[in-house]
């Protein structure tokens, strides 16, 4: 038998299957979707079996598979096919698609090991090389590159002369958490006899056997020692005599083990909820694929609809995937699913350690769970009987992966929904324009849910013109209205949420005299001021420098940081509202594991008056005592160079406003802005999605943007500017020649961030309606340039349907 294998060598030439022989004695142990180790040229690499067959087109003798890494397949046939589809759709290598589907712990790492060749003596080698081998037989390549980089060349020469051998090892990172347990090797009835045989001299051993007489179940060694105050050697003695067996068993690290969940039961649905859930039930029953767009305002009870749909699916014996954006995957959100489905739920998010993620994934693979709640990559959960896929906040840009494979979770969901003939539910209070347009064309089935449950009113929104404030002499970051309302809440003992968008409103350092802004010398982007270390950092490359005391340009001493970070706002708050208790949530305060949860708990329990934070507090949170939401600078994303800037602004303001008045107490929202007349701000203030949709569609049509056109963004980067421009021009010219004349090819122009990590960046944008040849052409471009100038570090990245235009 022959296995067709996709090898872990991400390159254009190797992006196809390779045939390997399945050693006869292995019989039928090799299955599609397993990981194996194979020889590839001089090295050993990991590979995925995608087909087994009797045929081969190769005419020479095939190499055998060296090693099998999995006792059972890690990819289902469906996922194997999906990987191929993704490689076509997103122009990634098939291996990258497979790697994205499995937990990071299972991705291989490679170790190069060096040994002296046979018949070589130490004195034949240069001393710098030989000294490594005086006490050791083998050393790893990493040791040399890390501790003696200046000797790399010497080593390379010796390898070339074949005086040193290199072998490659594939390492699996999977660490199953195991415990040692002991259990009886004899029958319970035989214990009496055993105790007698052991005799009085081994009292301790007798005691252990007596324990097993009472509790015959396996017990972990540590427990047994604790419980009987015995020792490891006593247990070992019994094992040696053949009365007990010792073994290791796999246990799960359950990140939620310490928590208890209060059980919830389904709520009787409101008539409006009932109306939108019926079509979903219908597809579940008829085993039919439909993509639904559940357009439900904040607080309309979408989550309850998800829960009850899942319940229906579980009753048919099938499984469910729920995607939630990383930042709304809060403990509160998880509780709602765990509360309803208990231990049937696995959770996958980036806060888990590699090991924990692996364990959650194993629960899915072993079918121990039926529901997975997770961020983007959970869409690849290896369920085999999917009954529903739900994507909450479907408009979120984070569902698109910004590195290879550049897939959008929504597309993958629909692929899987078709495969399993099950519904896909996209939910949002502010659907993406693309999705809403598809719903209007009946490609998706629109389910509107436009009122809050329990007749709760949408919060009233006041938009404050900050220019006016300045004219009236208010120089603080809080408008008079916001300040008064914050004060009022303090007096009443109610809570407020303050939202600050960090992006575009960050703490850059500027000279007040000449306007000079300190930028990263590698990335052409302004550096961010960090108060704690009094230094400047680049958020793209990590470059750090100390805060200058003088302007580099005009030598003025009036150089200081500008704009407000959350820290600055916090300071300001405590100044203007003495005694106020603030919980600040941003990347800095939530870096530690569990910090996120702890901060929210502090706020939820009423130990703070104001929750101040960035994007991460914009959604999903639900606090009964919050009656005021303030947005400090609504325009902060409006000026990002991206055609989705208005859409993002509308979505964000709507989400943030949705945090107020979700319970008995009515809510108020104050939005501060320097461009209060912009439609994305006024319409968010009126909770008017439909008008926003109409308005924004006109803009998109006028400028030829999605959903009227598809976009593909090509970014070219290299250390030399002239090279970048030359290649970018070649590509643009080639595309203009080859593509139809309805298609628009823009560029080449410098990217919005023209340099990152010393690499210059140029881009070219393709706008098209239909272009059947596009994928083929783009692949040709990659192959051509890789071959022509492969050594020269040229990078071409292609993003079909980009979410970010940076």
Cα 726 to Cα 35: distance, rounded to the nearest angstrom: 42
Q: Which does 73 bind (CB under 5 to 8 A by kind): ligand ADP, Zn ion, none?
A: none
Our finding on whether 302 is near ligand ADP (CB under 6 A) is yes
SS3 255: coil
Write the binding mask 43 to 82 for ligand ADP: x where contact by CB under 6 A, - elsewhere: ----------------------------------------
| Closer residue to ligand ADP, CB minimum distance, 47 or 296 | 296
Name which of 248, 304, 242, 311 is nearest 276 in CA terms.
304
Write the binding mask 282 to 301 for ligand ADP: x where contact by CB under 6 A, - elsewhere: --------------x-xxxx
Our finding on whether 240 is near Zn ion (CB under 5 A) is no
Our finding on whether 755 is near ligand ADP (CB under 6 A) is no
Helix 221-228 / helix 232-240 crossing angle, nearest 10 deg: 120
Burial of 748 by CB count in 10 Å (0-12 exposed, 13-18 middle, 19+ buried)? buried
Cα 376 to Cα 390: distance, rounded to the nearest angstrom: 12
Enumerate the β-bridge partners of residue 584. Answer: 612
Write the binding mask 152 to 171 for ligand ADP: x where contact by CB under 6 A, - elsewhere: --------------------
Cα 619 to Cα 303: distance, rounded to the nearest angstrom: 13
| Closer residue to ligand ADP, CB minimum distance, 268 or 578 | 268
Cα 408 to Cα 800: distance, rounded to the nearest angstrom: 10
Structure tokens at 226: 């604790």
Give the number of other Cβ atoms within 10 Å of residue 599's Cβ: 20
Name the residue with tokens 């100044």.
575
**Contact (CB, 8 A) for 263 and 339:** yes
Contacting range for ligand ADP; rule: CB under 6 A; set: 236-244, 262-270, 489-497, 629-637: 262-270
Our finding on whether 543 is near Zn ion (CB under 5 A) is yes
Our finding on whether 655 is near ligand ADP (CB under 6 A) is no
Write the binding mask 304 to 333 for ligand ADP: x where contact by CB under 6 A, - elsewhere: x-----------------------------
Backbone angles phi, psi at 179, to 5 degrees: -125, 150
Structure tokens at 586: 């941003």
Nearest distance from C-beta of residue 297 to ligand ADP, angstroms: 7
Nearest distance from C-beta of residue 273 to ligand ADP, angstroms: 6
| Closer residue to ligand ADP, CB minimum distance, 184 or 277 | 277
Contacting range for ligand ADP; rule: CB under 6 A; set: 20-28, 164-172, 264-272, 433-441: 264-272
| Closer residue to Zn ion, CB minimum distance, 511 or 633 | 511
Nearest distance from C-beta of residue 663 to ligand ADP, angstroms: 7
Q: Which does 540 bind (CB under 5 to 8 A by kind): ligand ADP, Zn ion, none?
A: Zn ion
Burial of 399 by CB count in 10 Å (0-12 exposed, 13-18 middle, 19+ buried)? buried
**Contact (CB, 8 A) for 622 and 332:** yes
Q: Restricting to residues 554-573, name those near Zn ion by CB under 5 A.
A: 554, 556
Write the binding mask 220 to 259 for ligand ADP: x where contact by CB under 6 A, - elsewhere: ----------------------------------------
Binding residue for Zn ion, selected from 239, 251, 470, 514, defined by CB under 5 A: 514
| Closer residue to Zn ion, CB minimum distance, 514 or 804 | 514
Binding residue for Zn ion, selected from 115, 204, 236, 522, defined by CB under 5 A: 522
Our finding on whether 537 is near Zn ion (CB under 5 A) is no
- Please report the beta strands in 452-581, taking only residues with DSSP state E, as ranges in sequence order: 460-465, 495-499, 509-511, 528-530, 535-537, 544-546, 559-561
- 196: Cα separation from own chain's centroid: 61
List of residues 6+ apart from 499 with CB closer than 8 A: 613, 614, 617, 618, 629, 630, 631, 632, 656
C-alpha separations of 458 from 15, 202, 614 in Å: 53, 76, 22
**Contact (CB, 8 A) for 357 and 105:** yes
Cα 654 to Cα 687: distance, rounded to the nearest angstrom: 7
Our finding on whether 346 is near Zn ion (CB under 5 A) is no
Nearest distance from C-beta of residue 795 to Zn ion, angstroms: 17
Q: Restricting to residues 492-511, name those near Zn ion by CB under 5 A.
A: 511
Name the residue with tokens 């009423």.
606
Enumerate the β-bridge partners of residue 426. Answer: 293, 391
Query: Based on C-alpha coordinates, what's the Rg of the chain?
Result: 31
Cα 396 to Cα 376: distance, rounded to the nearest angstrom: 10
| Closer residue to Zn ion, CB minimum distance, 541 or 547 | 541
Binding residue for Zn ion, selected from 144, 538, 583, 728, defined by CB under 5 A: 538
Our finding on whether 553 is near Zn ion (CB under 5 A) is yes
Contacting range for ligand ADP; rule: CB under 6 A; set: 261-269, 404-412, 462-470, 572-580: 261-269
Torsion over CA of 649, 650, 652 and 657, rounded to 10 degrees? 130
Nearest distance from C-beta of residue 517 to Zn ion, angstroms: 10
Contacting range for Zn ion; rule: CB under 5 A; set: 49-57, 165-173, 253-261, 520-528: 520-528
Binding residue for ligand ADP, selected from 152, 240, 267, 783, defined by CB under 6 A: 267
Our finding on whether 90 is near ligand ADP (CB under 6 A) is no
Q: Restricting to residues 247-266, name those near Zn ion by CB under 5 A.
A: none
| Closer residue to ligand ADP, CB minimum distance, 208 or 390 | 390
Cα 124 to Cα 238: distance, rounded to the nearest angstrom: 55
Our finding on whether 273 is near ligand ADP (CB under 6 A) is yes
**Contact (CB, 8 A) for 37 and 18:** no
Cα 80 to Cα 74: distance, rounded to the nearest angstrom: 10
Name the residue with tokens 């947005």.
631
Cα 569 to Cα 483: distance, rounded to the nearest angstrom: 13
**Contact (CB, 8 A) for 325 and 619:** yes
List of residues 6+ apart from 275 with CB closer than 8 A: none
Structure tokens at 383: 């369920």
Nearest distance from C-beta of residue 535 to Zn ion, angstroms: 14
Structure tokens at 323: 């995607």
Our finding on whether 654 is near ligand ADP (CB under 6 A) is no
Cα 410 to Cα 399: distance, rounded to the nearest angstrom: 7
Our finding on whether 100 is near Zn ion (CB under 5 A) is no
| Closer residue to Zn ion, CB minimum distance, 165 or 513 | 513
Q: Which does 739 bind (CB under 5 to 8 A by kind): Zn ion, ligand ADP, none?
A: none
Our finding on whether 523 is near Zn ion (CB under 5 A) is yes
Nearest distance from C-beta of residue 393 to ligand ADP, angstroms: 9
Q: Which does 576 bind (CB under 5 to 8 A by kind): ligand ADP, Zn ion, none?
A: none
Our finding on whether 202 is near ligand ADP (CB under 6 A) is no
Our finding on whether 393 is near ligand ADP (CB under 6 A) is no
Our finding on whether 541 is near Zn ion (CB under 5 A) is yes
Binding residue for Zn ion, selected from 329, 520, 683, 781, defined by CB under 5 A: 520
Q: Which does 553 bind (CB under 5 to 8 A by kind): ligand ADP, Zn ion, none?
A: Zn ion
Our finding on whether 365 is near ligand ADP (CB under 6 A) is no
Residues at the interface with Zn ion (CB under 5 A): 511, 513-514, 516, 520, 522-523, 538, 540-541, 543, 551, 553-554, 556
Q: List contacts with ligand ADP (CB under 6 A).
A: 267-270, 273, 296, 298-304, 453
């Amino acid at each position: 038998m022959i296995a067709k294998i996709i090898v872990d060598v991400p390159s254009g030439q190797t992006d196809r299957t390779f045939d390997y022989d399945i050693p006869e004695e292995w019989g039928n142990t090799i299955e599609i979707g397993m990981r194996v180790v194979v020889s590839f040229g001089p090295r050993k690499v990991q590979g995925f079996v995608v087909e087994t067959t009797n045929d081969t087109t190769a005419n020479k003798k095939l190499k055998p598979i060296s090693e099998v890494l999995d006792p059972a397949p890690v990819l289902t046939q469906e996922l194997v096919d999906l990987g191929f589809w993704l490689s076509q759709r997103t122009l990634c290598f098939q291996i990258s698609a497979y790697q994205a589907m499995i937990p990071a712990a299972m991705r291989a790492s490679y170790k190069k090991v060096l040994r002296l060749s046979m018949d070589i003596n130490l004195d034949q080698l240069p001393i710098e090389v030989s000294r490594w081998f005086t006490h050791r037989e083998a050393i790893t390549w990493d040791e040399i590159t890390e501790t003696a980089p200046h000797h790399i060349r010497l080593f390379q020469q010796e390898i070339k002369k074949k005086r040193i051998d290199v072998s490659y090892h594939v390492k699996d990172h999977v660490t199953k958490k195991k415990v040692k347990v002991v259990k009886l090797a004899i029958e319970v009835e035989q214990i009496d006899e055993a105790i007698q045989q052991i005799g009085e001299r081994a009292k301790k051993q007798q005691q252990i056997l007596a324990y097993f007489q009472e509790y015959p179940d396996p017990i972990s060694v540590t427990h047994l020692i604790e419980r009987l105050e015995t020792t490891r050697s006593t247990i070992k003695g019994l094992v040696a005599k053949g009365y007990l067996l010792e073994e290791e068993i796999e246990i799960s690290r359950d990140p939620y083990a310490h928590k208890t969940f209060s059980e919830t039961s389904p709520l009787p649905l409101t008539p409006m909820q009932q109306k939108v859930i019926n079509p979903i039930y219908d597809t579940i029953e008829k085993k039919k694929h439909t993509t639904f767009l559940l357009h439900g305002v904040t607080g309309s009870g979408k989550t309850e609809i998800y829960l009850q749909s899942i319940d229906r699916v579980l009753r048919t014996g099938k499984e469910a995937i729920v995607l939630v954006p990383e930042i709304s995957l809060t403990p509160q959100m998880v509780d709602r699913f765990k509360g309803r489905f208990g231990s049937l739920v696995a959770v996958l998010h980036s806060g888990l350690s590699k090991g924990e993620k692996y364990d959650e994934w194993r629960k899915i693979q072993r079918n121990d769970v039926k529901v997975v709640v997770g961020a983007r990559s959970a869409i690849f959960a290896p369920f085999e009987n999917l009954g529903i896929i739900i994507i909450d906040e479907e408009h979120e840009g984070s569902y698109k992966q910004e590195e290879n494979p550049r897939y959008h979770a929504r597309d993958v969901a629909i692929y899987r929904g078709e495969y399993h003939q099950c519904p896909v539910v996209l939910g949002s209070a502010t659907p993406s324009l693309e999705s809403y347009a598809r719903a209007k064309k009946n490609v998706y089935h629109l389910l509107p849910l436009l009122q809050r449950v329990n007749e709760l009113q949408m919060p009233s929104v006041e938009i404050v013109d900050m220019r006016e404030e300045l004219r009236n002499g208010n120089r603080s970051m809080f408008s008079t209205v916001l300040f008064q309302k914050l004060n009022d809440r303090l007096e009443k003992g109610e809570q407020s949420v303050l939202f600050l968008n960090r992006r575009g409103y960050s703490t850059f350092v500027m000279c007040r005299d000449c306007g000079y802004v300190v930028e990263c010398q590698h990335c052409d982007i302004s550096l961010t001021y960090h108060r704690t270390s009094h230094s400047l950092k680049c958020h793209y490359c990590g470059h750090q420098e100390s805060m200058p005391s003088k302007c580099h340009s005009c030598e003025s001493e009036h150089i200081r940081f500008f704009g407000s970070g959350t820290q600055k706002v916090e300071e300001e708050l405590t100044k203007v509202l003495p005694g106020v208790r603030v919980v600040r949530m941003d990347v800095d305060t939530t870096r530690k594991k569990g910090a996120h949860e702890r901060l929210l708990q502090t706020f939820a329990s009423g130990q703070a008056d104001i929750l101040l934070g960035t994007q991460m507090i914009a959604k999903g949170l639900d606090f009964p005592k919050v009656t005021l939401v303030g947005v400090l600078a609504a325009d902060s994303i409006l000026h990002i160079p991206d055609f989705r800037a208005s859409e993002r602004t509308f979505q964000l303001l709507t989400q943030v406003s949705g945090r107020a008045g979700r319970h008995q107490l009515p809510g108020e929202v104050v939005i501060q802005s320097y461009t209060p007349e912009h439609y994305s701000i006024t319409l968010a203030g009126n909770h008017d999605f439909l008008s926003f949709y109409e308005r924004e569609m006109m803009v998109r049509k006028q400028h030829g943007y999605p959903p009227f056109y598809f976009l593909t963004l090509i970014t070219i980067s290299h250390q030399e500017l002239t090279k970048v421009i030359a290649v970018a021009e070649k590509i643009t010219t080639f595309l203009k020649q080859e593509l139809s004349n309805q298609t628009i090819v823009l560029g080449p122009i410098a990217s919005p961030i023209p340099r990152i990590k010393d690499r210059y960046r140029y881009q070219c944008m393709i706008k098209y309606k239909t272009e059947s040849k596009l994928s083929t052409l783009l692949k040709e471009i990659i192959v051509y340039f890789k071959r022509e100038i492969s050594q020269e570090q040229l990078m071409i990245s292609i993003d079909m349907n980009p979410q970010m235009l940076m």
